[in-house]
Amino acid sequence: MNKPRNSLARIFRVPLILLAVSLAGLVTALLVEGHGDVIAALAVAAPVATILFAYFRRRR
């Protein structure tokens, strides 16, 4: 347990990126139609992909 303490910036770096990306995706999907929808949905998928990645990373 002698790991160095994480700073607040470090702790919230990924969560803040996910928050910004998913909110941008949720709003963009409302503003655009067609191909734009897919890109917006990919942004909404970022947290889902992150969670699945974290789950499967150490499973093997």
Q: Which residues sit at the interface with other proteins, rule CB under 8 A?
A: 1, 3, 5-6, 8, 11-15, 18-23, 26, 29-33, 37-38, 40-41, 44-45, 47-48, 50-51, 53-55, 57-58
How near is the Cβ of 5 to other proteins at its closest, in Å?
5
How near is the Cβ of 26 to other proteins at its closest, in Å?
5
How near is the Cβ of 48 to other proteins at its closest, in Å?
5
Distance (Å, whole) CA 27 – CA 46: 14
Distance (Å, whole) CA 60 – CA 32: 40
Distance (Å, whole) CA 49 – CA 18: 10
Widest CA span of the chain, in angstroms?
A: 52
